[in-house]
């Protein structure tokens, strides 16, 4: 998706920047995102109130999350204010860890205190990085979804707080494991934040309050869109390790076992927004999907997902994803109600929040706009997590995040299977794409195998099962 170019004398809103952009930007652009715009206070490792971070998964999201944590820690007068530093990093790919360490070091200097002995490479590197933490510190879990339950289990067992990115597991079995870990975290008074950052948007919260107060009447329908240019998977080079290829950047989001697939990776936010608007989880879903005819995409994704969610009162949410070049693009969530309509979000998760006096969604019919947010939604979620840690306030978003992920899996399964999938089915399922994720190492065979043409299995409605 193309970003508009701002005049040189105008600073763009931080809400326009995503975590995945961080590694691509120079220090000036990082300041635009609010990651380096505040003067860093002097931090000493011996200070009792220093919150130490361990980054597990050093891609753009993890790197950006470290910047958000540091930015939140520098808000003087806020609950989240106080020293934070990164002390350990882990990844399967050395080059990715090195790039992240270099980028963060340039931006934040001594706040990135990760000498070679605290940089860990390998499938078990997460253990070594988390072992560098002490109670009160935070493990950032930002790898592929397949590994999130494993890493969360270990972090909770070690008694540290957690920030974890979406999606949270690739399948219902993995999400059930996360719920069990969450229960143990509750017993230990651990704080867990999740990467559904739009839930922390003040503008969205203001519209939610208007809905709960009845200002828009009864919700009739919700429409959510994430339709982008295409991104396909090419055949694996014969000299590439199959497992590393599947979890590397080339196969990113093209295989279900590792990342949940592109639709969930992209649309989990919009699906969660629909459920937030209704203050409920859907009771059933069905959908349609398909792939571009005669294409050479070797990945597993359908290129179109169109899902209809039904809530207990009969309200429908229509959620659409398309991943094809040369088509109309859209990235927003709308609702229609008995007393008018509203927009709930805009492109790249911007907090475009407004109400309309009728159903036309035209500029001339706007009746209210939410106040412009001063920081990105990524920043807001870290402010709440660090504030909860420093004030010892309960903060565990796991159950809500898991339910949002289950709703997304419900829609994916409906499209892939060609059948109606119910909430009861998805919440009682123990299905797993891969049962031995904990045991994978560099010598492990890849969990899914390509055919002689380099193509991975594609869901065929009427034949495919994932619930």
In a domain, 445, yes or no: no
Domain that holds residue 427: 204-374+402-439
* DSSP β-bridge partners for residue 433: none
In a domain, 175, yes or no: yes
Same domain for 164 and 229?
no
In a domain, 434, yes or no: yes
Count of beta carbons in the 10 Å neighbourhood of residue 106: 13
Same domain for 59 and 153?
yes
Same domain for 354 and 335?
yes
Same domain for 298 and 182?
no
C-alpha 164/C-alpha 148 separation (Å) is 8
In a domain, 386, yes or no: no
The tokens describing 298, both together, are 């070797």
Same domain for 156 and 185?
yes
In a domain, 140, yes or no: yes
CATH code at position 411: 3.30.360.10
CATH code at position 80: 3.40.50.720
Number of domains in the chain: 2
pLDDT tens per residue across all 467 residues of the chain: 333 333 333 333 333 445 544 444 433 333 333 333 333 333 333 357 999 999 999 999 999 999 999 999 999 999 999 999 999 999 999 999 999 999 999 999 999 999 999 999 999 999 999 999 999 999 999 999 999 999 999 999 999 999 999 999 999 999 999 999 999 999 999 999 999 999 999 999 999 999 999 999 999 999 999 999 988 999 999 899 999 999 998 888 999 999 999 999 999 999 999 999 999 999 999 999 999 997 899 999 999 999 999 999 999 999 999 999 999 999 999 999 999 999 999 999 999 999 999 999 999 999 999 999 999 999 999 999 999 999 999 999 999 999 999 999 999 999 999 999 999 999 999 999 999 999 999 999 999 999 999 999 999 999 999 99
In a domain, 55, yes or no: yes
Same domain for 314 and 366?
yes
* DSSP β-bridge partners for residue 360: none
Same domain for 326 and 429?
yes
In a domain, 465, yes or no: no
Same domain for 88 and 124?
yes
Same domain for 216 and 138?
no
In a domain, 3, yes or no: no
Same domain for 239 and 194?
no
Same domain for 424 and 276?
yes
Same domain for 146 and 242?
no
């Amino acid at each position: 998706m193309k970003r508009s170019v701002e005049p040189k004398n105008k600073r763009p809103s931080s809400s326009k920047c995503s975590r995945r952009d961080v590694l691509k930007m120079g220090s000036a652009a990082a300041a635009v995102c609010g990651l380096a715009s505040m003067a860093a206070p002097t931090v000493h490792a011996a200070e009792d109130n220093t919150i130490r971070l361990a980054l597990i998964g050093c891609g753009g999201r993890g790197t950006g999350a470290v910047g958000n944590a540091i930015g939140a820690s520098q808000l003087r007068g806020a609950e989240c204010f106080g020293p934070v530093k990164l002390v350990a990093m882990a990844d399967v790919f050395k080059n990715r860890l090195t790039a992240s360490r270099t980028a963060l070091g340039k931006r934040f200097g001594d706040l990135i205190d990760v000498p070679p002995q605290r940089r860990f490479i390998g499938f078990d590197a997460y253990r070594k990085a988390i072992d560098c933490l002490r109670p009160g510190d935070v493990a950032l879990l930002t790898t592929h979804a397949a590994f999130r339950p494993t890493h969360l289990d270990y972090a909770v067992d070690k008694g540290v707080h957690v920030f974890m990115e979406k999606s949270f597991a690739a399948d219902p079995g993995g999400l059930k494991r996360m719920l069990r870990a969450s229960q143990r975290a509750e017993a230990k008074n651990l704080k867990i934040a999740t990467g559904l950052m739009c839930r922390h948007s003040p503008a969205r919260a203001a519209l939610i309050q208007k809905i709960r107060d009845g200002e828009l009447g009864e919700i009739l329908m919700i429409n959510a869109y994430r339709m982008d240019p295409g991104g396909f998977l090419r055949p694996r080079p014969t000299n590439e390790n199959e497992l590393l290829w599947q979890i590397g950047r080339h196969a990113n989001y093209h295989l279900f076992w590792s990342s949940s697939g592109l639709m969930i990776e992209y649309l989990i936010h919009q699906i969660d927004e629909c459920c937030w608007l209704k203050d409920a989880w859907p009771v059933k879903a069905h959908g349609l999907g398909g792939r571009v005819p005669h294409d050479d995409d070797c990945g597993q994704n359908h290129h179109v997902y169109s899902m209809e969610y039904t809530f207990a009162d009969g309200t429908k949410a229509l959620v659409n994803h398309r991943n094809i070049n040369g088509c109309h693009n859209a990235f927003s969530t709308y609702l229609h109600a008995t007393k008018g309509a509203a927009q709930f979000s805009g492109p790249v998760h911007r907090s475009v929040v407004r109400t309309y006096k009728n159903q036309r969604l035209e500029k001339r019919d706007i009746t209210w706009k939410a106040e412009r947010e001063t920081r990105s939604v990524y920043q807001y979620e870290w402010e709440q997590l660090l504030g909860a840690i420093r004030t010892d306030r309960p903060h565990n978003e796991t159950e809500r995040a898991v339910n949002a992920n289950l709703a997304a899996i419900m829609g994916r399964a409906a499209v892939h299977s060609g059948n109606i999938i119910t909430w009861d089915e998805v919440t009682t399922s123990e299905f797993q794409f891969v049962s031995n994720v904990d045991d994978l190492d560099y010598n492990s065979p890849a969990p899914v195998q390509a055919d002689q043409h380099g193509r991975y299995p594609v869901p065929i409605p009427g034949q495919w099962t994932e619930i």
